[in-house]
Amino acid sequence: MKKYLFVLIAISMLLIACEETGVTTSESANGNAKEENVKGVVAEEDFDKMYSDPRSYQDYEVEYTAQVFVKPERDEDGTYIQAYADPANYEQNTIIFIADPDLAVESEDYIMVKGIVRDQYDGENLVGGSIAAPMIEATSIDVVDYITAVSPTIETVEIDQEIDQHGYVVALQKIELAENQTRVYVKVSNNTDDSISYFSHSTKLIVENQQLEPEYTYESGLSEVQSNILADVESEGVITFPSIDPETTSLKFHSEGYSDNWELEIEPFVFDVVME
């Protein structure tokens, strides 16, 4: 019961705030909140200011991505959500109401939220710490993927190169640059008669005189190249590295593997990439 005390109190306050602004759940049916009292729009660069002082932005529109971190609550009026607006750091808890009891959203989902700041919740969490959270009445909520929410692509470089050693084929498909990471898309095909192994964890990205190591992000949900691949099977996935300068003009991608057939000599798969 205590687990849901915080969200239930906050939901009650949010509904009261909506009523005080002249918005009722019937007026915001199907997630379309009444916007007669909207005062303006919170710019993306001002979101942190809004989060620090929600009451100063009451009745302003916001649009942001977040990650749901507890199971959403539902009743006949709608769906109630707690989500981190800064999911990469598990920070900026926001409380969200949308007049859609059938919204398909669950804990751990990434969401795109459009809505209106209605009030601020002040209270304590389960361990006695202080909480101040914006309460948002959503006009729309869409489930999105990890990349959209946490690591939007700045630039995509299509590569489409492959190296074939005795039927062990590694294809470098593309590289995506983001502000907080670099994503390398790889496909490995086993066109031999024996099992092969591919070592994603030991790949390297070489930029000028720097050697970058892979970074594993459990929450990303990105596919991974399998480490053991049977004959006539292919596997593809994404290997993430630290971010690089978008102005980088060239780099090397280095990866290794071996075949169960010890007679096959497999050299490292090294790709020279021109970033255009």
Share of the chain above pLDDT 90, in %: 76
Query: pLDDT, tens digit, for every residue of 103-137?
Result: 999 999 999 999 999 999 887 666 666 778 999 99
CA distance 229 to 263: 18
Letter for the amino acid at 88? A
pLDDT given at position 10:
53
Whether the domain at 2-149 and the domain at 153-274 fall into the same CATH topology: no
Please give the model's pTM, rounded to 2 decimal places.
0.79
The least confident of 12-16, 57-61, 108-112, 119-123 is 12-16
Q: Assess whether pLDDT exceeds 90 at residue 217.
A: no
On whether the 153-274 domain is CATH 2.60.40.1240, my answer is yes
Query: pLDDT, tens digit, for every residue of 26-41?
Result: 344 344 555 557 889 9
pLDDT given at position 38:
84
pLDDT given at position 200:
96
Domain positions in the chain are: 2-149, 153-274
Share of the chain above pLDDT 70, in %: 85
pLDDT given at position 56:
93
Cβ atoms of 249 and 275 within 8 Å: the answer is: yes
pLDDT band at 45 (very low <50, low <70, confident <90, very high): very high
Q: What is the mean pLDDT of residues 201-221?
A: 92
pLDDT band at 218 (very low <50, low <70, confident <90, very high): confident
Q: Assess whether pLDDT exceeds 50 at residue 24.
A: no
CA distance 34 to 99: 11
The fold adopted by the segment(s) 2-149 is OB fold (Dihydrolipoamide Acetyltransferase, E2P) (2.40.50)
Average pLDDT for the chain: 87
Q: What is the mean pLDDT of residues 188-193?
A: 97
Q: What is the mean pLDDT of residues 65-84?
A: 94
Q: For the chain, what is the HEC assignment?
A: CHHHHHHHHHHHHHHHHHHHCCCCCCCCHHHCCCCCCCCEECCHHHHHHHHHCHHHHCCEEEEEEEEECCCCEEECCEEEEEEEEECCCCEEEEEEEECCCCCCCCCCCEEEEEEEEEEEEEEECCCCCEEEEEEEEEEEEEEECHHHHHCCEEEEEEEEEEEEECCEEEEEEEEEEECCCEEEEEEEEECCCCCEEECHHHCEEEECCEEECCCCCHHHCCCCCCCEECCCEEEEEEEEECCCCCCCCEEEEEECEEECCCCCCCCCEEEEEECC
Query: pLDDT, tens digit, for every residue of 166-178?
Result: 999 999 999 999 9
